[in-house]
Structure formats: structure tokens, C-alpha cells
């Protein structure tokens, strides 16, 4: 293994000079820097991560905590993860993957052993046992999602409440008077997952504000469940003309089911969704949707974390405003 002393000798300087040339923490003459860089290339030098971490008390590793509970939409989560990894790399950091098998102990372990410098936590519950822990940890962290009490934490997420409202407002603006929300699987609500609940809040508030008749329907992530919900909606709410879907997995099957039941989209039924843009745009009937900007969220979470690591102050709460894209699934309500 080639080490910093080898490089130093080869370049005719001291090891500390090599270190400073690498880190830029002290000025080094152009000439010396060139020689050092040449030596590094020639010898194929790579600084030892452990030695670096020990001496600098910085591991340059972030922990990404992905619970992967049931009912979540895996591809979306994976988009976050990829975006976190690539953004972290632009800041010269790597990403350690933690699932929830270990529970809170895992977080404490990687933090206390100095394996990671900071943590990104996904799938935050309204009352999340990890939150108090994270407040006590001496390492910075960023949540993707909001718990009930975000005080003292740095959180970022799509403004799901506003997203829910926006979907309803759009339908209301098109003249729809009876709307339904097809939401996440029941277990997501039982766990009191923050974002799901906030969509419900926004949906309900906007419906009430506009004097709409509304109802809420959790839905399992299977086409069969989608069909059942569709049938139920038609039988129970004959006047229904607007649906908000917050469930990536059933968006397409749901549309299929409606059409098989004789309802054309958007002729008889207008649909808005909260989901990744790529999904909404790729469907047979492209769906008017509020984008779920996974990649942006992941990237911004990393940026926030980097700022905190640099000792900078960051806002505790970052809510991305919802952005609605009009597509083919919405139309004005037919005259009755």
C-alpha cells in the first residue's frame, strides 16, 4: 500500500505538505502542488479512509436510514436513495445504508462509533421514536418528512397538505362537486405516517372550503384492491366526478377499473394525483398531477446536511411548494 510518506518522499516534500496540498487548508506553491499531484498519479496513492477518519474525526460517510415498511412504494424510495448517493458523492461523501431491522440502536451505533458524520432519515412517522434519539445525538441529521413535533430537527418534504389542497382546488375549479381521495394502504395510516395524514388534512380542508362532498378511501397496493375501491366509489357515490389519488401503485389499475365500469376519464371522471411526474406522464391516460420530486428532495436533504456539517445554520423546516401539471385526466364537469 502506498502511503502519504511515499508520496512525500517521491515529491521531495514532507508528508504534511502533501496533506495540505490535498486538503487545500494551507497555501501551497503552484510548483510544489504540481510535483505532488504528479507523484500521486504516478504512485497511485489513495488516502486511507480509516486513518483519515481517525485523524480528522470526519469519516465522510452519511447514513441513509430507509425503514422500508410495508405499504410504501419502493421505486419512489429508491429514487430518493439514488439521488442521495449521487449528491453525496458530489460533496465527496459516501452513503451507508441502514434499514430498520436494527431499530434506533442502529442509528445510535453508527453515530457513536463515528462511522458516519451525519444521518438522513426517511419515512418519518408523526410520533417517531427516532426523533428524540436524533435530538440527543451529537451528529447532524435531516429528516425527509415531518413528525408531529419537528422542533429542534431539520426537516424537508413536499408540502403534502398544500398538495392535497391543490388537487382538490383544481377539481373544484373545474366544477366538480363530489370528490374522493384514494389514499395509501391502511397500514400507512395506522402507523400515522406523516405525509399520508397531511394529504388527508389538505384534501379535507380544501373540500370543506369549497363546499364539496368528499370521502376518503385507503387502498391496498394491488390492482384487485383498486378495482374494489372503484366499485365501492361508484355504488356509494353516484354523483362522484372527481378523484384524487395518492397511491402510486394503484393509479393505473384504478383508471382501468373506472373505464371498465363504464366511466371515461376525463369525460365522466376527472382524476388528479400526487406522484412522480414520470409515472403520471407515462400512463395510458396521462394524469394531471402534483409532482413528488424525489430526486430534488434527496439532493436538497444532502445539501442541508452538508451545510450543517460546515457549521452553517439551516432552516428547521423546508416545505417544497406543490407544482401541479395539467395533463389529460381532468376536464370540466359535464352539465348534470
Query: Residue numbers of the site for DNA (CB under 7 A)?
Result: 1, 3-5, 12-20, 22-23, 25-29, 31-33, 45-48, 51-52, 54-57
C-alpha to C-alpha distance for 282 and 267, rounded to whole angstroms: 20
Which is nearer to DNA, 13 or 274 (by Cβ)? 13
- 188-217 residues in contact with a second copy (CB under 8 A) are none
Cell 389519488, located at residue: 245
Residues whose CB is less than 8 angstroms from the CB of residue 249 and which lie 6 or more positions away in sequence, other chains included: 73, 221, 222
CB of 66 to DNA, least distance (A): 28
- What nine digits make up the cell of 137? 445525538
Residue 77 touches which of DNA, a second copy, none (Cβ within 5-8 Å per kind): a second copy
The contacts found for 105-111 with CB under 8 angstroms, 24 or more apart, are: 106/65, 107/63, 107/65, 107/133, 107/134, 107/137, 108/133, 108/137, 110/63, 111/63, 111/137, 111/138, 111/139
Residues whose CB is less than 8 angstroms from the CB of residue 140 and which lie 6 or more positions away in sequence, other chains included: 117, 118, 119, 154, 305, 308, 309
C-alpha to C-alpha distance for 95 and 3, rounded to whole angstroms: 25
- What nine digits make up the cell of 44? 497511485
Stretch touching a second copy by CB under 8 A, among 102-110, 184-192, 195-203, 265-273? 102-110
Told to check if 92 binds a second copy by CB under 8 A, we report no
Told to check if 3 binds a second copy by CB under 8 A, we report no
Q: Which of 94, 236, 316, 326 binds a second copy (CB under 8 A)?
A: 94
Which is nearer to DNA, 47 or 150 (by Cβ)? 47
CB of 58 to DNA, least distance (A): 7
Residue 31 touches which of a second copy, DNA, none (Cβ within 5-8 Å per kind): DNA
Residues whose CB is less than 8 angstroms from the CB of residue 29 and which lie 6 or more positions away in sequence, other chains included: none
Told to check if 61 binds a second copy by CB under 8 A, we report yes
Query: Where on the chain is the footprint of a second copy (CB under 8 A)?
Result: 44, 46-54, 57, 59, 61, 64, 68, 74-75, 77-78, 81-82, 85-86, 89, 94-99, 101-102, 106, 109-110, 112-115, 222-224, 252, 256, 282, 284
Amino acid at each position: 500500500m502506498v502511503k502519504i510518506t511515499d508520496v512525500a518522499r517521491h515529491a521531495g516534500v514532507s508528508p504534511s505538505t502533501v496533506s495540505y496540498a490535498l486538503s487545500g487548508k494551507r497555501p501551497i506553491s503552484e510548483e510544489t502542488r504540481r510535483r505532488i499531484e504528479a507523484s500521486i498519479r504516478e504512485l497511485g496513492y489513495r488516502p486511507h479512509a480509516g486513518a483519515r477518519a481517525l485523524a480528522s474525526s470526519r469519516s465522510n460517510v452519511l447514513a441513509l436510514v430507509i425503514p422500508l415498511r410495508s405499504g410504501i412504494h419502493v421505486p419512489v424510495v429508491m429514487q430518493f436513495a439514488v439521488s442521495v448517493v449521487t449528491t453525496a458523492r458530489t460533496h465527496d461523501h459516501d452513503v451507508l445504508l441502514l434499514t430498520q431491522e436494527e431499530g434506533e440502536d442502529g442509528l445510535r451505533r453508527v453515530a457513536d462509533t463515528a462511522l458516519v458524520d451525519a444521518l438522513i432519515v426517511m419515512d418519518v412517522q408523526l410520533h417517531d421514536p427516532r426523533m428524540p434519539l436524533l435530538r440527543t445525538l451529537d451528529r447532524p441529521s435531516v429528516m425527509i418528512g415531518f413528525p408531529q413535533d419537528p422542533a429542534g430537527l431539520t426537516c424537508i418534504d413536499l408540502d403534502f397538505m398544500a398538495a392535497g389542497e391543490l388537487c382538490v382546488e383544481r377539481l373544484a375549479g373545474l366544477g366538480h362537486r363530489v370528490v374522493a381521495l384514494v389514499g395509501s394502504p391502511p397500514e400507512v395510516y395506522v402507523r400515522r405516517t406523516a405525509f399520508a395524514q397531511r394529504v388527508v388534512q389538505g384534501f379535507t380542508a380544501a373540500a370543506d372550503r369549497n363546499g364539496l362532498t368528499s370521502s376518503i378511501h385507503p387502498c391496498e397496493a394491488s390492482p384487485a384492491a383498486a378495482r374494489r375501491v372503484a366499485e365501492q366509489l361508484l355504488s356509494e357515490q353516484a354523483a362522484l366526478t372527481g378523484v384524487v389519488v395518492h397511491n402510486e401503485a394503484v393509479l393505473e389499475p384504478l383508471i382501468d377499473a373506472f373505464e371498465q365500469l363504464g366511466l371515461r376519464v376525463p369525460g365522466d371522471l376527472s382524476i388528479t394525483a400526487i406522484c412522480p411526474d414520470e409515472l403520471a406522464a407515462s400512463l395510458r391516460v396521462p394524469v394531471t398531477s402534483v409532482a413528488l420530486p424525489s430526486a430534488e428532495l434527496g439532493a436538497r436533504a444532502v445539501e442541508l446536511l452538508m451545510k450543517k456539517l460546515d457549521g452553517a445554520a439551516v432552516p428547521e423546516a423546508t416545505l417544497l411548494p406543490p407544482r401541479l401539471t395539467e395533463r389529460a385526466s381532468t376536464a370540466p364537469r359535464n352539465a348534470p
